[in-house]
Amino acid sequence: MKDELILIQGSNFFSFSPNGPQLLEAVRQFDGNRTERELRALPQGEELLGLLEEEQWIVRLEAPLRDLIEGRPWISRQLSFYAHVQRNYPHRVLAELEKRHVLIVGTGGVGSHVAASLAGAGVCRMTLMDPDTIELSNLNRQFFYSREDIGASKAAKAASFLLARHPHLQLQTLHEPLFAHEEQLQRLGGVDLIVFCGDGPTVLRKTAQVGMTPVTSGGYAGSEGIIGPTCWPAKGSVCWGCRNDYRDEPRTMEILGAQVSRENDWNPSGTTVNGLVGNLLAEEALRCLAPTLGGPRLLNAYMSLDMESLALRRIELPPVECPHRTEPSTPQP
């Protein structure tokens, strides 16, 4: 069968094999809506299934594709992407994401990209936290907002933008900084993941307050972006508090904890670095939220994105003592 040659364009085909029409009809039955038993019963179905399995082109689902995307056609392309990451039952990713609650701290250039990507990827419940209001200088990189939004709450406008695209979302907005008051984290006790896209040393000095809650973070300084690390003691990494207490990591702390005093007109924040960092950070968040995707990739490590050379490097972090770690640290793939 490997020697069969069929050229297809739309509904037309040309075959160099006498079995071409029969083989083509069998191939067309692999549309995501038939069981394996039905496919094997087709003429040449057994052989075709084996060949496609060998080439790793088979994706297994637990329900017909039409049922999995019924009522939400926008998710079909995302499900197809998950199938490239996990060929066996990729639809389970969507079921896992639907149950998770994510807190996004900061809905500016990085955080807004994180929120948009998570919503499009299947996350249904998010809390958006940002004390800031929208300024004209934000508009080069923060695409949720327009000139009509100047002076409005970033978190509130971000929620409006997301709901216009994804009306099924469950969103909460907080127009306040992280650790604004003692009751805040108690109200957020059901959060499965914190994605930190904020800044400021005051925040980082209080990170121990999140306890065992998983945290992943990202930011940038000038032309360098940082994605990670992910802090998740139950998965073998240090907790967020212990990681930020370790001061021998000047570069990550400079980027994630910087609060440089400059005139607003001269604070570097490029369009592309925000988008790249935000979307890579969202991809790490998805792996934290959906076990089917294989788990987080940036435990005890981060990625450095050099916008000058367009180089992306993974950097392992030195070990840090953490009494909250509940599982031995293991290398990430």
Residue type, 330: T
312: pLDDT strictly greater than 70: yes
Q: What is the mean pLDDT of residues 22-42?
A: 83
Q: What's CA 243's distance to the chain center, in Å?
A: 22
145: pLDDT strictly greater than 70: yes
Q: Which residue has the higher pLDDT, 306 or 65?
A: 306
| Alpha carbons 152 and 145: distance in angstroms, whole number | 9
> Residue 318: enclosing H or E segment and its boundaries?
none
DSSP code, position 303: E
Cβ burial of 82 (10 Å; 0-12, 13-18, 19+) is: buried
103: pLDDT strictly greater than 80: yes
| Alpha carbons 325 and 300: distance in angstroms, whole number | 12
Q: Phi and psi of 18, rounded to 5°?
A: -65, -20
Indicate the domain borders of the chain. 21-58, 99-316
| Alpha carbons 305 and 278: distance in angstroms, whole number | 12
Cβ burial of 268 (10 Å; 0-12, 13-18, 19+) is: exposed
| Alpha carbons 248 and 312: distance in angstroms, whole number | 22
What's the pLDDT band for 13 if we cut at 50, 70, 90? Answer: low
Q: How many CB atoms lie within 10 A of CB 34?
A: 15
Shortest CA distance to 110 belongs to which of 260, 226, 237? Answer: 226
262: pLDDT strictly greater than 80: no
What is the CATH topology of the domain spanning 99-316? Rossmann fold (3.40.50)
Task: Out of 148-152, 189-193, 288-292, give the one with best mean pLDDT.
Answer: 288-292
Q: What is the mean pLDDT of residues 231-251?
A: 76
Q: What is the mean pLDDT of residues 279-305?
A: 96
Cβ 229 vs Cβ 262: under 8 Å: no
| Alpha carbons 75 and 1: distance in angstroms, whole number | 34
33: pLDDT strictly greater than 90: no
Q: What is the pLDDT of residue 260?
A: 47
Cβ 35 vs Cβ 26: under 8 Å: no
328: pLDDT strictly greater than 70: no
248: pLDDT strictly greater than 50: no
What's the pLDDT band for 117 if we cut at 50, 70, 90? Answer: very high
Q: Which residue has the higher pLDDT, 14 or 55?
A: 55
Q: What's CA 6's distance to the chain center, in Å?
A: 38
pTM, 2 dp: 0.84
Q: What is the pLDDT of residue 265?
A: 60
Task: Out of 30-39, 65-74, 141-150, 280-289, give the one with best mean pLDDT.
Answer: 280-289
